[in-house]
Amino acid sequence: MSVYIKEPEKPAQACVIWMHGLGADASDMMGLVEQLKIDDVVLRHVFLDAPMRPVSLNGGMVMPAWYDIMGKELVDREDKHGIEKSHAIIRSVIEIQLKEGLQSTQIYLAGFSQGGAMALHSALNTDAQLGGVIALSAYLPLAGQTTPSLAKNTPFFLGSGLFDPLVLPIWSQESRDWLLTKGYEDVSYHQYPMEHSICFKETQDISVWLSEHVQGVLQCPL
């Protein structure tokens, strides 16, 4: 796995760790970050490449994937072994940021599609309060086996496409409902008229959400 860091010119006030979707690479998330308009806070962006692995849905072809996908249904995306291995990788990246002096509340996990699924899973299995979680066109894997340890006041941004044929909108809605039933009240849920992609309005909304939450932590330091 490769890690790429976009370090700001001034000391970082927060760090966003980005995970791409199935078959993509870190450059996808780099392109998304270039579209964000955030001028009032200083962010460090960390981009991860998923491990190379065979993906059953694609005939066993080896490609960047956080975990295996056996079929098109949500239950076919429950590769617990692969998910846990990738969670360990993401956790190690979080630990590096903590050792460099950031507080857990200054760390955000973000991702698109399978990367968003990993952002949700890894965050919910973190015994702390994170700055927040951004899950785009994603869903929570292993929901039935997850007992969250993440602090309940951690905020979430969930975005989904109304016409997404790959990650069905109902999957994102069910993930939102799961979070609410578990006591996570700060869940910002957005739907956009798109398929499996990211649109301009979504990047605008992410920009505002990130700026507001990073500033909120800065105004209320631990």
Find all residues with CB under 8 Å of 47, minimum gap 6, and list them.
Answer: 3, 4, 5, 6, 18, 20, 26, 29, 30
Average pLDDT over residues 18-31: 97
pLDDT given for residue 74 in this prediction = 87
Ramachandran region, residue 113 (left: φ > 0; alpha: ψ -120 to 50; beta: rest): left
State the distance between the two ends of the chain, measured CA to CA, in whole angstroms: 33
Q: What is the DSSP string of 3-27?
A: EEEE--SSPPSEEEEEE--TT--HH
How many CB atoms lie under 10 A from the CB of residue 174?
A: 15
State the residue range of the domain holding 173.
3-219
The total number of residues shown for the chain amounts to 222
Q: From CA 214, how far away is CA 219, in angstroms rounded?
A: 9
Q: pLDDT tens digit string along 85-109?
A: 999 999 999 999 999 999 999 999 9
In this structure, what CATH number is given to the domain that contains residue 22? 3.40.50.1820
Residues noted as catalytic: 113, 164, 196
pLDDT tens, 113-143?
Answer: 999 999 999 999 999 999 999 999 999 999 9
pLDDT digits (tens, 9 = 90+) for 46-62: 999 999 999 999 999 99
CB 135 within 8 A of CB 158: yes
Look at residue 217 and tell me whether its pLDDT is greater than 80: no
The DSSP secondary structure of 54-119, one letter per residue, reads EEGGGTTEEEE-SS---SSSGGGG--HHHHHHHHHHHHHHHHHHHHTT--GGGEEEEEETHHHHHH
Number of domains, the chain = 1
Question: What mean pLDDT, rounded, does the chain reach?
Answer: 95
Q: How confident is the model at residue 218 (pLDDT cuts 50, 70, 90)?
A: low
